[in-house]
Amino acid sequence: MTERSEVVFVDGVRTPFGRAGEKGMYWGTRADDLAVKAMVGLLERNPQLPKDRVDDVAIAATTQQGDQGLTLGRTTALLAGLPRSVPGYAIDRMCAGAMTSVTTVAGAIAFGAYDVAIAGGVEHMGHHPMGFGADPNPRFLSERLVGSDALVMGATAERIHDRFPQLTRERADRFAMRSQHRAQAAYEAGHIQADLVAVATRSPEGWGLADRDEVMRPETTMEGLAALRTPFRPHGNVTAGNAAGLNDGATASLIASEQAAHELGLPVKMKLVSFAFAGVEPEIMGIGPIPSTEKALVKGGLTIDDIGLFELNEAFAVQVLSLLDHFGIDDEDPRVNPWGGAIAFGHPLASSGVRLMIQLARQFEQHPEVRYGLTAMCVGLGQGGSVIWENPHFDRRAAKKAAKRTTTVEAAE
């Protein structure tokens, strides 16, 4: 039996994320074309990769019908110009679709079945609203397998506020405002644009070019957030301002064995350490990343103190705050979503897991003092997903200097 192969994140790109609906920039664009655009951009950035060396293509979508149906991995592979010999398949783990695409192909690479694979996701929530066309088994409710709130993601977020009273709306709003401001600062610094693949768009007004996320609101203030209504319950805590919106977009990543990456001259932006998925009560699905992170840490032989950067999906601000409180991390910790998150950029469900990885990979380049990073997210129907990565640019001397600076600052305080 072959030895386990080390798995690496070679590269990742995404389309700009758009606002779902008729007024959104992708209303006239097919979902599969968004995925194809991301895949083509990924392949163009890595011309040294022979296309026939791609062993498989895994593309996720939550609503697999219409232009998000017909075995997305295979159809998008053909449309992106990959040889017919390259197979493909579709993945569905709701919000963690792209994350599961990555971990699934990673398992095949570690086993030795694959050398190189493409993994990503797409969600066109304008064409396919979450849950549209689904027919939940009536036994879910009649046999009380889940509460009625389990099928409404905003209601599950309200339940987290109920369970943890210290997670106030003020904290959630402040976290959301900070996400918007950090995202704007990241754009101004040029951190985001390098991994965006521009998309030609069509509307009644004519052709356009999507080259920037559509839903960011850098002008957000605490006063403005406080004035927003709470649609999931009267006098609640969850608003359109402290939750991710409904969005369209696609992501694609190149995952490989470390040996194949070196053989083909491909970059190594991150090394996979461990991953885990976990289930929780569906009615409070937002706490899912807590047990999945605990499992991933154990699998990786690490503790939360080893994690130097966190990319946590902001489906709801309260969901991220619950994880931070659990692990004793401050709301404003600069290691957490330093460039903002889904509240600012958007959350096109099954595509978002790879966005987290793209941003973490870029941050690793800028932070050689950080050895490990975490990408984590909550998942509908009571799940969480976590992936721990190692920074190939890690420098022990830089880490020692950073630790010394931290010690000096703490002593001064």
Q: Which residues are catalytic?
A: 95, 347, 378
> Alpha-carbon distance 30 to 34, whole Å?
7
> Between the CA of residue 163 and those of 99, 145, 283, 291, what are the distances in Å?
28, 20, 11, 17
HEC letters along 240-273: CCCECCCEEEEEEEEEEEHHHHHHHCCCCCEEEE
Tokens of 202: 């069509």
